Structure 1
Amino acid sequence: MGDRTFGYSAQVRPFLWVFIVVTPLEILLVELIVPWFWLRAVLLAFGVLSALLLGWQLWMLHKFKHSVDDRYLWLRYAREFEYRIPLAAIESVTQGTTSRTLHRTRSVVDGTLVLEISNSTNVSLRLNDPQEIDLGRRGAHDVTKIEFWTDDPDGMVRALRK
């Protein structure tokens, strides 16, 4: 089958670009309005740091994509998390948008791992056997279903059904 990658950031990328474009305008406005040099210098440093962090986030979302290889489905969100799901453990895969308001990129709800982007998921996996998922400080959970977002749900479903 080979490695196939699938992005998941198309919904959030425009907002990040808007902030990257607006940040230099904000810095210029601060330079024109604030009379104290020391405060302008501090705000300039924060503005530059903000632009760098936004650019770094864009790069991370582009670099660390979901992927499917011959043995595993890799679900990622930048460098925040990465889950490896054996393809043999996937019982069924369906496509369909669900909306939640969990306000977290990853949560476990009633045995379902939910990996949201903008409070939505569009691919759902039912697993043969429970898989242990570590949520860090929120502990490890056994899940029997996974819901996640991908920018190409048709391609993801085709890749997982092979």
Structure 2
Amino acid sequence: MGDRTFGYSAQVRPFLWVFLVITPGEVLLMDLLVPWTWLRITLLVLGVLSGLLLGWQLWMLTEFKHAVDDEHLWLRYAREFDYRIPLAAVEKVSQGLTSRMLGRTRSVVDGTLVLEISGSTNVLVLLSEPQEVDLGRRGTHEVTRIEFWADNPEAVVRALRK
């Protein structure tokens, strides 16, 4: 089957680009409005750092995509998390929009790993056997279902059904 990657950031990328484009103008405006040199320098440094962080986030969302290879489904969000689910554990996969608005990119709700983007998911994976996922400080959980967002859910469903 080979490696196939699937983006998940199409909903948030435009907002990041807007802020990235606005940041230099914001820095320039502060330079014109603020009379104190020490504050202008501080705001310039913060503006440059903000622009670098936004650019880094855009790069991370583009670089670290969901993937399907011959043995695993890889679910990612930038470098924040990277889950590997064996394809042998995938029982059923379907497409359908779900809105939970949990306020986190990853959560476990009633045995379901929810990886939402902008409060939504559009791919559902039912597992034949429970899988452990580590949510860091929120602990390790066993899940039997996974809901996640993909920019092209049809392609993800096709790749997982092969």
Matches within 5 A, 1:52-131: 52-131=52-131
- Normalising by structure 2, we get a TM-score of 0.99
Identity of aligned residues (%): 75
SS at match of 1:14: helix
Unpaired runs of 5+ residues, structure 2, are: none
For 2:11, the equivalent position in structure 1 comes to 11
Q: Give the ranges of 4+ consecutive aligned residues of structure 1 lying more than 2 Å apart after TM superposition.
A: none
Residues 107-149 of structure 1: CA deviation (Å, up to 9, x unaligned): 0000000000000000000000000111010000000000000
For 2:41, the equivalent position in structure 1 comes to 41
Q: Alignment RMSD, CA only? A: 0.3
Unpaired runs of 5+ residues, structure 1, are: none
**How much has 1:81 moved relative to structure 2?**
0.5
- Normalising by structure 1, we get a TM-score of 0.99
**How much has 1:101 moved relative to structure 2?**
1.2
**How much has 1:97 moved relative to structure 2?**
0.5
Residues 39-83 of structure 1: CA deviation (Å, up to 9, x unaligned): 000000000000000000000000000000000000000000000
Q: Tell me how many residue pairs correspond in the alignment.
A: 162
For 2:32, the equivalent position in structure 1 comes to 32
